[in-house]
Structure 1
């Protein structure tokens, strides 16, 4: 009897986690570079599920702005926050007062040799900043640095750290995508897919509720029979 209650409780816990995942996805439909969550099996947790990031590309919105960069293919820009290397997908960058290339939240963007510092004097109308598909930065014919872009071999090891950044403790993988300059990537959330997930979740919760009700009736009947004896 106790095992039955525990199993039903685990199912309800998994449903709550799934609902939280759907809610986060819907809330971030308009967030640039947001990676949708999908619940995947993880038997090491009590609920048997854990969120994993969807690695599919989001749609592109052309901006024409030289510091707006979008990635195609699985991968992340690497940034530094309080001395910690984090991964971000959104590439809407800017240059701060010290010449550092930073995210809109102030995280420093990392290149192959450390944080990228750009000399604004090199970037002019005659020598605008150009970003190649491989992440190489140029001002006309002057090289400015190489963006550090990585892929992840174990997506389940990604942990959200706020402001669209993720900590990753797993093994790196070789990035094989491309950079698109003058565009921002939208969230890869599909509203129709999220609605379908919500409908399926609602049916599952109702099935668990009926199972609990049936179990309660059986338990009540068993107690009554014991009382009659």
Structure 2
């Protein structure tokens, strides 16, 4: 394959991967805590591209529920799934059947004291993520920062194989975070990627016809 065809193929593949990322974002625009993704160069991937999480605060929806928690700043709650840590921005927590603070999917929320057994009655969570029952400190939620390039999306959150970092944001009680996807920006990006892909396809067609003419003329000689 010529260098020209290879370059065109890479450009077209980049557009397709970009369109796929936009489609994934749009499909999750109503998913609480969802962080958008983008296609980035990755020489270790077979297609030369991979998806990377785009960190950023999504808009808040006030609920008034004491177990609804939203993060401000590039951080993640840590929950336990089958003995393995999972990072998530979806902070609409519940009391599980045994009385522990957990996600709606059943993963228990990790604190500095392990899983948190909730007392009877409501709790207060301050901006540092400390959970209080009246004047009694119960625990501090484990909230961490992470390298977005090493986040691996799974249902309900992310697996992470990198070094966890200190988080410097705040927790807001009584609210849930919505997706950080900007619908208008995604629409504009989709239009740009589609037009570019169409342009590359036209160039491929022209180049193909040029090669065909050149081969036929060689045959005439």
Question: TM over 0.5, yes or no?
Answer: yes
**How far did 1:21 drift?**
0.8
Contact 1:102–1:109 (8 Å) recurs in 2? yes
User: What's the counterpart of residue 165 of structure 2?
Assistant: 173
Q: Residue 52 of structure 2 aligns to a residue in which SS?
A: strand
Which deviates further from its counterpart, 46-55 or 185-194?
46-55
Q: Residue 194 of structure 1 aligns to a residue in which SS?
A: helix
User: What's the counterpart of residue 128 of structure 2?
Assistant: 134
**How far did 1:113 drift?**
2.8
TM-score, with normalisation over the residues of structure 1?
0.92
1:164-203 residue pairs with structure 2 within 5 A?
165-203=157-195
User: What's the counterpart of residue 6 of structure 1?
Assistant: 6
CA deviations 1:29-70 (Å, max 9, x no partner) are 111110011222323334433222121100011111000000
Alignment partners' CA distance in 1, 2:155 and 2:15: 24
Q: Residue 19 of structure 2 aligns to a residue in which SS?
A: helix
* Structure 1 gaps, min length 5: none
Aligned-CA RMSD value: 1.4
Alignment partners' CA distance in 2, 1:95 and 1:5: 58
Contact 2:16–2:197 (8 Å) recurs in 1? no
Q: Residue 173 of structure 1 aligns to a residue in which SS?
A: coil
Alignment partners' CA distance in 1, 2:212 and 2:41: 34
Alignment partners' CA distance in 2, 1:11 and 1:37: 19
**How far did 1:145 drift?**
1.1
* Structure 2 gaps, min length 5: none
Give the paired residue count: 221
Q: Does 1:207 align with 2:203?
A: no
User: What's the counterpart of residue 97 of structure 2?
Assistant: 97
